[in-house]
Structures are given as structure tokens and as C-alpha cells.
Structure 1
Amino acid sequence: MMGIRSLTFRLKVQGFVAVAMMAAMLPPLAHAQDDEVVARVNGQEITAADLAIAEEMYGPQLGQMPEDARRSVLVNALIELRIVADAAREANVTEQDAFKRQLAFFEAQTLRSVFIEQRVADAVTDEAIRAAYDGQVGSFPTVAERKLRHILVGTEDEATDIINALEAGQSFADLAQERSIDAVSKAKGGDLGFVAEGEIMPEVEEAAAELEPGQFTRSPVATAFGFHVVMLEEARNRPPPAFETVEPQIRQALASAEEQRLLAGLRAAAQVEKLVPDVTPPQADDGHDH
């Protein structure tokens, strides 16, 4: 279990010091009377509202910690924060230039974050996401696909015997379960699901193209794996992805684009004088040759 000292160190590394500096400069926040008080430090209340902010900032670092332990660790961190902040005030840290410089930096950082978050949220609405989806669905390429079953055996004679059994009325799925050597599809009655062009062995694909739904190949189909008997169950154009499955990706893409648009507009309107050379950072080594 993560101890308070370990957590405090990690949170400081991740930005906890910024909150501590803010707390050192500002008096304790006033909260609504109905806020649950979770701790008191020198008579000052730490409330559920403070805990909610801590959870938002530090929660991801706590992983799958049980809820009661999570709450306890965060409250301990807030207690230590308040204790150190009080000590910093008494030591007049708020009057030091180093404090003021760092506080100004973190204030600008927070303003940037809140400003962009609010503007992006205003632009990336549910309606905008739906409109983007509707516009993209029409541009999806049409992909023809077939729902196939197959039975794979080791010899041509075995495949011919299976074709004769099918012509006599035996079930394709039953024969696949009994005789196919494809362990993956065998348990599903030979079902290969929907496959598009290029997603299956060319010999099988070519044979399936000659079939109508419900038909099976009347001669064995030879591949490097053996001999197949192939059945076409259904042919269709692949449907576009459902809105629910791509909504998070569309939201993220729109948010990223809006943030870049916003930043570009602000920078274009600002008077900027960069006094150091522009240098392109080296590309990170991802283990691939480029």
C-alpha cells in the first residue's frame, strides 16, 4: 500500500508543489456549510470539496487502490499540504522572489489549462460530434464482404467425401465440427465470419466469388494448408462503424483540432519576439529505422 510519504514525494514531482505554493499564498477557502469536513489542521477545515480536487489531480497515480484507502491517503496528503503551507506563511515564503516567480508560472499554466478546456468544451459539443460522424460516414469507402464457412481436411479425397455428404443433405456446421482440422473455426461449425477482399487466402476468395448465398463449392479448393470445402452464407457491403464505437475518437480529434486552431489564432494576434534560435528537437528513438 502506498504510504503518505511516498505519495507526497510523487505528487510533488508531478506538480503537487504548485498547489502547495498556492495554498501558502492564499487563505483557506470558504466552502458551503453542507460540505463534509474530512479533517482539521490548526482549526482550519479540509472539506469534501478539497478532497474532490485532490482526487481529480492525484487519483490516476493511485491506480486501483480500494476506495477507503484512496480517501485516507488523499486526506493525509491534504493534511500535510496544509501543515507545510501554514509553516511557509509563518516563514514569510510568500514574500520571497523565488516563490513569486514560480507562483506566476503556475498561475499562467493553470489559466492556460482552464481557458483552453473551457473554449474546447464550448466548441466540441455533442451536436458537433454527431455532425462530424454524419459527414464522415458518407466518405467511408464501400467494402464488399462475404460471410463464409469452410471445412479444411488433409486430402482431396476427404474433401470430395464431405462434398458428397453435403449434397446428401448433411449439415455443413456438423461436418465442420466432426471433420475439419482447422481448430479455430471447427468449434464454430467452420464459421469464418465476414471477410473482405484480401483478408483470406486467394484460392478460397476466388472460389467464394463464384457462389451464391447458401451454396458450397462442388469441388475441393486446394491451398497450402490442405483442401477446403467453402460455403457462402451471406454477401453484403460492410456497414460503417456505429456512432457509439467511434464517438470517443471523433471527440478527441475535434478537441485536438480546436485546441490547435485556438492556439494558432492567439499566437497570430500576439506580438512575439523569440530571442533564441528555432531548433528542431531530435526525433525520439522508437526502435524503427526511418
Structure 2
Amino acid sequence: MNGTRHHRTLAFALLAGLAFSGVARAEDKVYATVDGQPITQADVAALTSSLGAQLAQLPEEARLKAVVERLVDMRLIAQAAAKDGLDKTDSYKKRMEQVRTQLLVSEYVKDKVEAEVSDAMVKARYDKDAAAYNPPEEMHARHILVKTEDEAKAVLADLAKGGDFAKIAEEKSQDPGSAKNGGDLGFFAAGDMVPEFEKAAAALKPGETTKEPVKSQFGWHVIKLEEKRKQPIPSLDQVKDQVRQAVVGDLFTQKLADLKKAAKVDVDEAAIKAASAKPEAPATPSAPAPAK
């Protein structure tokens, strides 16, 4: 049932889009016609975008052919529906008004919000956020993981005799991911490691090794802290899209607030409350009195 509803909704939205498109623009490539009505490159692009993952695995030519065939089918159904007068029903008109509203909102955001966001605005927002950002601390540590506490104590004894941490890790650590790198775990932030490990590492100064074995769900650890640092702030190039979206969101909120100030909006809170209230359960009828 959900699939059927999805296809109906998708078909309606796309057919509504076709109704708005009318004739092909001069720059649109025409891939097919249905009773003289063109199916254009713009129509294909809109449907391809809507179908998304459903077409991702198809080769380009097969994908284009599938989309054109789908559009032909939809155009035929739309023509049949119009012939039967279904485009004159109140239900159709209400849904078309909903589609029109959605399209106008989309066009407003594109032309009146996104188009006004400049690279300078994005840079200013990035600089402001970067200046206020307090990056979390990261730790860079090595560890040697063994199964038992006695094994961990033996590792500590070897280190106390001047053993090289990285070499001992390569020989004895049972963490296959880090042993080959001398136990090096790289940098990690709060929450990346199990609490016992993280707490023990955070208590160390750079260059120090835990004096006692540290137990976790994985076994027993001997930990060496290499260094601490503030997490690097990403460059503008790395986060430009996210920053732009934040600026767009702020500008949209501002413009919407201005529109609300200029309009007369009345919200019937009582009607909303009444509509959302759960109906009271019917009273349970009293049991009949026993016959005397």
C-alpha cells in the first residue's frame, strides 16, 4: 500500500510539473512527442532527479531511454485523465494548488535567497564561526593490548628496563590494527575510545606511560601518550558548502520573519487544540444488578 501511495504522489507531482511546462523552450532538446506535445530535456532532468537511486545502476543510454518511456506513459495517462475531466475536480484543483505553492516556495528560495548569498557572505560567516569555535582536544597515543593482567605487568617491566614501546607493541600487542604500527592509534577525540582507556590516557602527560595496566572489555592495556592538541579547524574549502547552507538558512529565516511582519496572520489555536485532542473513551456501562 505504501508503495502504491508513493507512486501516485510521485506521478501527480511530475504530471503537475508537466502541466506547468506547456511547450518546449528553445534550448530544450526534444526526445519524444505524444500527440504533438514534446517531452524535453528539462522533463527528463526533473524525472531523473526524482527517481534518483532507482536509475543509478543503469548505463547512461538505458537510463535515458527508461526515463523517456516513463514520461511517455505518464503523458498518455495525463491526457486520458484530462479527457475524462479529472482535471476539473475539486480534488485535482486543491492538489494542483498545493503543487503550485511548493513550486513557488522553491523558486523563491532559489531566486530571492540562494541567489543573494555571495562568496563574501560565506567567507564572513566562516571567519565569524571559526573565531568563536573552541575546538575539542585530541590525544595521540600508543597502546599494547594483551589478554591478562600478568602479561600487561610483564610489558611494564620490560619498559622499565628501557624497552622500546613501539618494538614491544609490534612483538606482543594483540591489537592487529595497531600492533604493526608500533601500537600507534593516531589522534582521537573524546568518545572515540572506551571510557576506561580514554580516562587513563587523559591522565597522562605527553611522553608518559600508564604505571598500572588498564582493563577494558578488550583486555589489558599499557598506554603511552604521545601528544595532545586542539582539533584542527577545517579550512573554508573543506566546509564551504555547509557554511553556504547555514547562510542560506539564516537569510531565509530573516526574509520569512519580514514577510510575517508585513502580513496579517491569524492562527486559530483553539481549533488546532480541538482537532488534536484525543476523543474521550466512552464510559463503561454499569453491570446489571443481580436478579433477586
TM-score, normalised relative to structure 1: 0.72
The residue number in structure 2 matching 1:260 is 253
The alignment status of 1:62 with 2:54, answered yes or no, reads: yes
Contact 2:14 2:47 in 1 (8 A): no
How big is the shift at 1:227?
A: 5.8
Are residues 182 and 220 of structure 1, via their aligned partners in 2, closer, same or farther at CA, if it must alter by over 3 Å?
farther
The residue number in structure 1 matching 2:109 is 116
Are residues 133 and 216 of structure 1, via their aligned partners in 2, closer, same or farther at CA, if it must alter by over 3 Å?
same
Are residues 59 and 127 of structure 1, via their aligned partners in 2, closer, same or farther at CA, if it must alter by over 3 Å?
farther
Residue 75 of structure 2, aligned match among 70, 82, 106: 82
Contact 1:21 1:99 in 2 (8 A): no
Are residues 273 and 248 of structure 1, via their aligned partners in 2, closer, same or farther at CA, if it must alter by over 3 Å?
same
Are residues 30 and 229 of structure 1, via their aligned partners in 2, closer, same or farther at CA, if it must alter by over 3 Å?
closer
Q: State the alpha-carbon separation in 2 of the partners of residues 104 and 197 from structure 1.
A: 50
Contact 1:203 1:222 in 2 (8 A): no
How big is the shift at 1:29?
A: 0.6
Q: State the alpha-carbon separation in 2 of the partners of residues 137 and 174 from structure 1.
A: 40
Residue 125 of structure 2, aligned match among 122, 128, 132: 132
Aligned sequence identity (%): 29
Q: State the alpha-carbon separation in 1 of the partners of residues 34 and 104 from structure 2.
A: 29
How big is the shift at 1:196?
A: 5.5
> Aligned letter for 2:48?
E
How big is the shift at 1:191?
A: 0.6
SS in 2 for 1:277: helix
The residue number in structure 1 matching 2:24 is 30
Residue 39 of structure 1, aligned match among 32, 39, 63: 32
Q: State the alpha-carbon separation in 2 of the partners of residues 85 and 182 from structure 1.
A: 63
Q: State the alpha-carbon separation in 2 of the partners of residues 229 and 112 from structure 1.
A: 56
SS in 2 for 1:134: helix
How big is the shift at 1:258?
A: 2.8
Q: Deviations over 1:107-140 (max 9, x none)?
A: 2232122112322203433332222221111112
Unaligned runs of 5+ in 2: 278-292
The residue number in structure 1 matching 2:140 is 147
How big is the shift at 1:174?
A: 2.6
Q: CA RMSD in A?
A: 3.5
The residue number in structure 1 matching 2:222 is 228
The residue number in structure 1 matching 2:242 is 249
The residue number in structure 2 matching 1:187 is 180
The residue number in structure 2 matching 1:3 is none
Are residues 55 and 202 of structure 1, via their aligned partners in 2, closer, same or farther at CA, if it must alter by over 3 Å?
closer
SS in 2 for 1:272: coil
Q: State the alpha-carbon separation in 2 of the partners of residues 263 and 65 from structure 1.
A: 40
Unaligned runs of 5+ in 1: 1-6, 283-290
Contact 2:23 2:37 in 1 (8 A): no
Contact 1:156 1:227 in 2 (8 A): no
The residue number in structure 1 matching 2:202 is 205
> Aligned letter for 2:122?
I
Contact 1:23 1:85 in 2 (8 A): no
Are residues 27 and 243 of structure 1, via their aligned partners in 2, closer, same or farther at CA, if it must alter by over 3 Å?
closer
Q: Deviations over 1:36-83 (max 9, x none)?
A: 332222233322232122223x23262533133432232122112222
Q: State the alpha-carbon separation in 2 of the partners of residues 39 and 186 from structure 1.
A: 62
> Aligned letter for 2:73?
E
The residue number in structure 2 matching 1:17 is 12
Q: State the alpha-carbon separation in 2 of the partners of residues 84 and 126 from structure 1.
A: 45
Q: State the alpha-carbon separation in 2 of the partners of residues 27 and 18 from structure 1.
A: 13
Contact 2:141 2:201 in 1 (8 A): no
> Aligned letter for 1:124?
V
Are residues 90 and 47 of structure 1, via their aligned partners in 2, closer, same or farther at CA, if it must alter by over 3 Å?
same
Q: Report the count of equivalent residues.
A: 261
The residue number in structure 1 matching 2:42 is 49
The residue number in structure 2 matching 1:156 is 153
Contact 1:41 1:79 in 2 (8 A): yes
